[in-house]
Amino acid sequence: MNEQKKSKISMTSKKKQISLIVLTIILLTLLIYMVLSGTNFLVSILVIIFLFLFFFGLIYKSNEISLSSYLPSSREKPESSRKKSKKQYKIETPKRDIPKSLNFTYHQPLIRKCPNCGMILTRSANKCPNCGNNPTQ
């Protein structure tokens, strides 16, 4: 089992070395082409360095680091400090006593409906402006 792992590691390192050599040859060819075509030498060096670093990162870090390791996981969310403080400073309100009977006075509602025409009236309206009916009766 251990020999299989070593052979697998050596195969991947050989593949990486071969791909790095091929990348270097391609980039050197591109550099020569850019210099001969009249591109500024500094610009062509910067472009080659950028391309080399980009592909080098893809070749050598492809199996080791995944992009999802940098992103927050949707399954494992850390508990927010707001929830922690809510738990810590939770105030328990006493429960209200529920009356055993419903024999108590109700306050007059803010909005009511005219029984005759159905117009919505405020608490202070004495008569319905639409039909003239007294809604308190």
pLDDT digits (tens, 9 = 90+) for 85-131: 666 666 677 777 776 777 767 677 788 888 888 888 888 888 888 88
pLDDT digits (tens, 9 = 90+) for 46-88: 999 998 888 887 777 655 555 566 666 666 666 666 666 666 6
Mean local confidence (pLDDT), 15-21:
83
Is the pLDDT reported for residue 13 higher than 60? yes
Tell me if 131 sits within 8 A of 117, measured CB to CB: yes
What ranges do the domains of the chain cover?
Answer: 8-63, 109-137
Distance CA 17, CA 29 (A): 18
Give the pLDDT of residue 125: 83
Q: Where are the alpha helices (H) located in the chain, listed in sequence order?
A: 2-36, 41-60, 81-88
- 45 burial type by CB count under 10 A (0-12 exposed, 13-18 middle, 19+ buried): middle
Distance CA 54, CA 56 (A): 6
Cβ neighbors of 55 (< 8 A, separation 6 or more) are 23
Mean local confidence (pLDDT), 27-33:
90
Beta bridge partners of residue 122, listed in sequence order: 111
Give the pLDDT of residue 1: 47
Mean local confidence (pLDDT), 30-44:
90
Cβ neighbors of 6 (< 8 A, separation 6 or more) are none
Direct distance between the N- and C-terminal alpha carbons of the chain, in angstroms, rounded to an integer: 95
pTM more than 0.85: no
Give the pLDDT of residue 46: 92
Determine the 3-state secondary structure of 113 from DSSP: strand
Give the pLDDT of residue 136: 64
